[in-house]
Structure 1
Amino acid sequence: MTTARRGAKVPARWRLLVCSLTLLVSCSQEPLTAADAHPDMPVPTRASHASFSSTSVNGVEVPLRRELKAQVPADLSDVLSFYRTELGKRGWQERPDGAMVGADRARLVFASPKGPGMLALDRAKGETIIDLVQRNTEAVAKANFLPMPGQARLIFGYLVPDVASLSIDDRTIKIEGGLNHPQTLDLPPGSYSYELHVSGHLVRTDTITLAAGQAWFLRLSDDDSKSDQIY
């Protein structure tokens, strides 16, 4: 006689737990899609955090530089694939120069419709950290902040006229000063130490590292504020 054995019964609470875990896994593996928070700088729908910032100047209606910082609980490879697809849809063309892709870190350089773009991805605490930057060449040129080819441009000023000077790259530059009267200086790529003197007194020393094609607003205050990259 053949005896049929029935499988052991699984308690209902365990079946519910298994179903919940299955649902959780399937949700976590959903493909990344764009949340369309910004037409030019897409954010993955599953992002746990996202923030936008921009740099603007008087007299120029559009930002000189825009930046997205975000975090998403997804593999770096998935986030990288998402941005290659979504940025490609928006006319961003990936450039081979400066590109680096690793297991926990990636850097991509783009030519976007408005100017140079950069995507940086890193891993931290189980999430992929996103830093996406777009620079607007036309806006920077209109503001007269676009550096000469192969150079970087510093923009600086001082509120009080004719009392301050900037020492950098073995030269001393008198700062004319006054509100809305910035001065510019083009330098080759590299790291530079600089000093600010006001009425003959040294009030600040610092260093700045410049790359070709960048423009920086040089902080000349006597506090710890850092210089800002505006292009």
Structure 2
Amino acid sequence: MCALTLLAGCSKEPLTADPDVDMPAPKQSSFSQFRTTHAHDAKVPLRLEIEARVPAELSEVLAFYRRELGQRGWQEKPDDAVIAADRVQLAFVSPKGPAVLKLGRAKGETTVSLAQRNPEAAAKADVLPISGQARLIFGYLRPDVASLVINDQTIKIAGGENHPQTLDLPPGTYSYELRVSGLLVRTDTVTLASGEAWGLSDDKKPSQIY
């Protein structure tokens, strides 16, 4: 607490960012992590994501991102905005493709998730779903022994290295099963939004690819 709180209040250092990075996080972050998702043998990432925790009020972090992203040519889509006291979700159109900013609160800090997708790279990698739908990508190393059960369908997985299969579905939450030689090896749920692509695996939770 500031010693002069009663007289003048605490002066806080404004949140700042490195001006040369496309995916900013406040320099004052207590934690930040940058991730990229690539298709096999592709140099251009399908998806960029930064996660951070910032010891500042949600309103300050929101103002920071609106300023910094605006300076980078990102356009906010106000019709898709969700703004509450402890949660924010904003959609943007960035120079490289659609993006989403999510802010929350945890342990006295503001949590940040900023993700940007590259539709050109996704189209080249054949992970871009049909308009208005989402895409699942799945496979299995051993051929002709695995199957995916989802949305009242049982899909045989041809399998083999680097031979993924795809399935486009309407947005929603789906339960699914992965079976090998008739035996259940994984059951889980995946929540899909329009335009997204997710990978399914037998040994880990679904992961967003695009």
Instruction: Indicate whether 1:57 and 2:39 are aligned.
Output: yes
Deviates more, 1:173-182 or 1:202-211: 202-211
Larger radius of gyration: 1
Aligned with residue 30 of structure 1, among 5, 13, 16: 13
Partner of 2:25: 43
Instruction: Give the direction of change, closer, same or farther, for the CA distance of 1:202–1:126 in structure 2 (3 Å limit).
Output: closer
Q: How does 1:7-156 map to 2 (within 5 A)?
A: 18=3, 25-26=10-11, 29-36=12-19, 39-156=21-138
Write the letter of the residue equivalent to 1:142: K
CA RMSD of aligned residues (A): 2.1
> Which consecutive residues of structure 2, in runs of 5 or more, have no partner in the other structure?
none
What is the number of residues matched between the two proteins? Answer: 208
Shift of 1:126: 2.3
TM-score in terms of structure 2 length: 0.91
Shift of 1:55: 1.0
TM-score in terms of structure 1 length: 0.83
- Cα distance in 2 between the residues matched to 1:211 and 1:132: 16
Q: How does 1:146-185 map to 2 (within 5 A)?
A: 146-185=128-167
- Cα distance in 2 between the residues matched to 1:87 and 1:226: 31
Write the letter of the residue equivalent to 1:33: T
Instruction: Name the structure with the higher helix share.
Output: 1
Deviations along 1:77-101, one digit per CA (max 9) or x if unpaired, are: 1111110011011111101233111
The answer as to whether partners of 1:119 and 1:131 remain within 8 angstroms in 2 is yes
Instruction: Name the structure with the higher strand share.
Output: 2
Aligned residue for 2:59, secondary structure, equals: helix
The answer as to whether partners of 2:46 and 2:209 remain within 8 angstroms in 1 is yes
> Which consecutive residues of structure 1, in runs of 5 or more, have no partner in the other structure?
1-16
Aligned residue for 1:25, secondary structure, equals: coil
Name the % identity: 63
Aligned residue for 1:121, secondary structure, equals: strand
Deviations along 1:147-204, one digit per CA (max 9) or x if unpaired, are: 0001110000000011111121222211110000001010111122222221222322
Instruction: Give the direction of change, closer, same or farther, for the CA distance of 1:95–1:200 in structure 2 (3 Å limit).
Output: same
